[in-house]
Amino acid sequence: MRHRIAVIGGGPAGLTFARVLHRHDHPVTVLERDPAPDARPPGGTLDLHEKLGQLALGKAGLLAEFQALSRPEGQAMRILDTDGTVLRDWQPRPDDTANPEIDRGQLRDLLLGPLDVQWGRCVTEVVPGARDGVLVHFADGRQETFDLVVGADGAWSRVRPAISSATPHYTGVTLVETSLDDVDTRHPDLARLIGDGSMAVYGVNRALVAQRNSGGHVKVYAQFRAPLDWHTNLERHMGLNRRAGMDAGLDLADVEAVRSSLLALFDGWAAPVLDLLRHGTAFVHRPLYVLPVGHTWAHVPGVTLVGDAAHLMPPLGVGANLGMLEGAELAESVAAAPSSGDLDEAVRAFEEQMWARAGMWAKITTAGLERLVSPDPTEALAFFDEVQPS
Ligand SMILES: Cc1cc2nc3c(=O)[nH]c(=O)nc-3n(C[C@H](O)[C@H](O)[C@H](O)COP(=O)(O)OP(=O)(O)OC[C@H]3O[C@@H](n4cnc5c(N)ncnc54)[C@H](O)[C@@H]3O)c2cc1C
C-alpha cells in the first residue's frame, strides 16, 4: 500500500526523510516555503557525527558522496585566551572521520539530488482528524490531504501546534553572526589564527567563535548573555559606556553601528581576535531559542515532528545530526509499514525512540551552553577538555 506522505520543510531533517523514502521507491511530497533552493544564504558549516548524521546519510545511500565533499581537517579546534594566548590546539588524525564538516549548501544539494521539491509552498496550518486524512492549509489558500504529515519545518514550526502547545523560549544567549570571504588571500593572518577548523575565545559571559567553511569562507559568531531586547539600550542592558554614545538604541540593520557595539562589548580582547569583527561583512542577529528539555506530546494519528520542530536545542553541533537520523529512521519505518494501522504503530514507535534520544541531547546541550557562555570562562575550557578527543 502506498501511503500519501507529506513532509513540511526542506532542511536537513525533511530532505533526509524524503531521500530515504525515495530510496525505498515510496512517493513523498516535499513542501518547502522558500521559493527556490538558493532563495537565501544556506548558512554555515555542519559537523556530521559518525553515529548520527553520517548514519543517516548511509541510510540514504549518500555516505561515499559525503566523504568526497566533507572536510575532515575541519575537525581541528583551537581555544585562545582573551589576550590571544593559545590554550588548546586539537588537530584531527589524518584518518579521523568522526565529525567531518560540510557546508550546509553542499549538504542540501547532496540531499536534494533527484527529489522533486515543491518550492514556494508555505504551510499555515495542519488539521488532523479530517474525514479523508490530515488537512494541510497553505498561505495561498489551497489545501491538500495526506495520510501522514511530517513537520520538519524548524524552530517556528506551523505543524507543531496540531499536536503540541509547546513554544520556543529565549535561552538568554544571543549570537551575532558575521562572515569573512576569501580569508586565505585577503586576511592571511586571520586564516592562520583560525587554522583548518574552528577557533574560539571565551570571556566572562561572552565568546567569539570562528569556523572555516569551504572556499576560504569563514563564519564568525559573537555570543553573549543579554536580555532579548539588549539592543534597545546598550548602556542599561550591556553596561556599555554612555559617553561612547551607547545609550541610544542600536539599529541592527546598521552594519557599522553593530560592529562598533560588538567591538565595545569585546573591548580589551587581543587585536587579532577583534579583527574578526573589524573585517566582518554583514551582521545577522540570532537570539538562541529552545523548546523545553524533554518535549513530548500525546500521539496524534497522522501527524509527527522531526528535527528542530520536535526538539529545538542550543546549537552545540547536534541539531541537524539528530534531525537527519530521525528523518532516515522514520522513512525506513514508513516504507516498511504495509497498512494504515501499521503506519500509525510505526510512527508511535518512532516517536518514543526520538524522544528518548533527543531528551538526552537536549540536557547535554543545555548544560553545555551554560558552561560555554558563562561568568567563569574556565568552565568553557573544562567543557572542551571533557568532550574533545585527546
Ligand atoms: C550557528 C548555528 C550552528 C549550528 N551548527 C550545527 C552543527 O555543527 N551541527 C548540527 O548538527 N547542528 C547545528 N546547528 C543546528 C542546526 O542548524 C539545526 O538543528 C538544523 O538546521 C535543524 O534542521 P531541520 O531540518 O529540523 O530545520 P531547519 O534547518 O530549520 O529547516 C526547516 C525548513 O522548513 C522550512 N519551513 C519553515 N516553515 C515552513 C512552512 N510554514 N511551510 C513550509 N516550509 C517551512 C524552512 O524554510 C526550512 O527550509 C547549528 C545551529 C546554529 C544556529
pLDDT at 131: 85
Confidence band for 240, pLDDT divided at 50, 70 and 90: confident
Q: How far apart are CA 205 and CA 227, in angstroms?
A: 12
Q: 325 CA to middle of ligand 1, Å?
A: 14
CA of 10, closest atom in ligand 1: 49
Q: Report the pLDDT averaged over residues 57-63.
A: 98
Cα of 186 vs centre of ligand 1, distance in Å, is 30
pLDDT band of 162, cuts 50, 70, 90? very high
Residue 93 in marked binding region: no
Distances (CA, A) of 163 to 68, 160, 281: 40, 6, 41
Whole-angstrom Cα distance, residue 295 to residue 155?
A: 13
Ligand 1 pocket residues where CB is under 6 Å: 8-14, 31-34, 44, 46-47, 122-123, 152-154, 158, 175, 221, 286, 307-309, 315, 317-321, 323
Which residue's CA lies nearest to atom 13 of ligand 1? 317
Do 99 and 50 contact (CB within 8 A), yes or no?
yes
For residue 300, the Cα-to-chain-centroid distance in whole angstroms is 26
pLDDT digits (tens, 9 = 90+) for 348-379: 999 999 999 999 999 999 999 999 999 999 99
Average pLDDT over residues 56-63: 98
* Rounded-to-integer distance, Cα 99 and Cα 148, Å: 33
For ligand 1, mutation pick of 102, 308, 373 (most atoms within 8 Å of CB): 308
pLDDT, average across residues 184-195: 97
For residue 310, give the ligand 1 atom closest to its CA.
26
Q: What is the DSSP string of 231-288?
A: GG-HHHHH---GGGT-SSPP-TT-HHHHHHHHHHHTTTS-HHHHHHHHT--S-EEEEE
Classify each residue of 59-82 as buried b or exposed e, where b means 16 or more C-beta atoms within 10 Å of its C-beta.
Answer: bbebeeebeebbbbbbbbbbbbbb
Phi and psi at residue 56, to the nearest 5°: -65, -45
Nearest to 179 by CA among 149, 211, 152, 157: 211
Q: Is 308 annotated as a binding residue?
A: yes
**Positive/negative CA dihedral, 158, 159, 165, 169:** negative
Please provide the distance, in angstroms rounded to a whole number, between the alpha carbons at the two ends of the chain. 51
SS3 178: strand
- d(Cα 190, Cα 209) in Å, to the nearest integer? 13
Positive or negative torsion for Cα 320, 326, 332, 338: negative
CA of 244 to the centre of ligand 1 (A): 37
Atom of ligand 1 nearest to the CA of 219: 1
Give residue 374 CA to ligand 1 midpoint distance, Å: 25
Residues 6+ apart with CB under 8 A from 233: 247, 248, 249
Q: For the chain, what's the residue count?
A: 390
**Nearest atom of ligand 1 to the alpha carbon of 49:** 11
12 Cα to the center of ligand 1, angstroms: 7
Cell 567569539, residue located? 208
Q: Are strands 133-138 and 143-146 parallel, antiparallel or unpaired?
A: antiparallel
Select the more confidently predicted residue: 240 or 125: 125
Q: Is 348 annotated as a binding residue?
A: no
DSSP structure string for 133-196: EEEEEETTS-EEEESEEEE---TT-SSGGGT-----EEEEEEEEEEEESSHHHH-HHHHHHHTT
Annotated binding residue at 47?
Answer: yes
Contacts of 106 (CB under 8 A, 6+ apart): 69, 214
How confident is the model over 81-130, as pLDDT tens digits? 999 999 999 999 988 999 999 999 999 999 999 999 999 999 999 999 88
pLDDT beyond 70 at 1: no
Least-confidence region, from 93-102, 177-186, 294-303: 93-102
Atom of ligand 1 nearest to the CA of 319: 19
